[in-house]
Amino acid sequence: MNNGIMIVLDGSNGAGKSTVIKAVKEYIESRQLEVVMTREPGGTPIGEKLRNIILSKEHPEMDDLTELMLFGAGRAQHLAEKIYPALESGKVVLSDRFDSATISFQHFARGIDRELVDKINNLALNGFSPTLTIILDLDPRIGLDRVRSRGEGLDRLEDQDLLFLDRARNGYLRQAEEFPNKFYVIDASQSLEKVISEAILAVEQLL
């Protein structure tokens, strides 16, 4: 593999992303490939500062357009500072969320016009697209129960009504239907072992 690839794990809160992404990382490294782990919002010092602003419950007054542009700004920095250099050196970038989350949450859930969301996304991406996005699909009700059972707090986007989270979930599934070659959907209501197995199988087909 001369050029690097980027794999994104995204989907419902409580679907097991953190555990699955660690298992995928271990699998990729077993193939003697170097992995760069990252996340959105975040991934860089600037991005992590933006993450704190975007997800903090201290900012309930944040305008939807402000939120969208902060995601775009963080993504532009993420690509320039971390993702592009890793790919150019032949590494595998493994990200917890990326551009599909913006479409799901800001367009489908928030209701911001898709054309505007795409413009901000495309400005940040500048033609770039992840190699594969794995969606861990789960009913938000089950996901929130899992999050609460672990004693974890909810961030500003997680702490929305179920209708909002249902719309975001539908957004992921709609994107997968629209771009079947770029997305792989896994039923995250299955056992964690089964979810991990399916995720590794999807990645194996790329390597």
Domains of the chain, each with CATH number or no CATH: 5-204 (3.40.50.300)
Can you give the pLDDT at residue 74? 98
Beta bridge partners of 5: 92
Beta bridge partners of 186: 136
Helices (H), 5-113: 17-30, 45-55, 64-78, 84-88, 99-102
CB atoms near residue 111 (< 10 Å): 11
pLDDT tens figures, 156-179: 887 788 999 999 999 999 999 999
Can you give the pLDDT at residue 1? 45
Can you give the pLDDT at residue 148? 82
Can you give the pLDDT at residue 17? 93
Looking up tokens 């590794």, which residue turns up? 200
Can you give the pLDDT at residue 151? 73
* CB proximity list for 161: less than 8 A, separation 6 or greater: none
State which residues of the chain have pLDDT below 70.
1-2
pTM, rounded to two decimals:
0.94
* Distance of alpha carbon 168 from alpha carbon 101, whole angstroms: 8
DSSP at 63: -
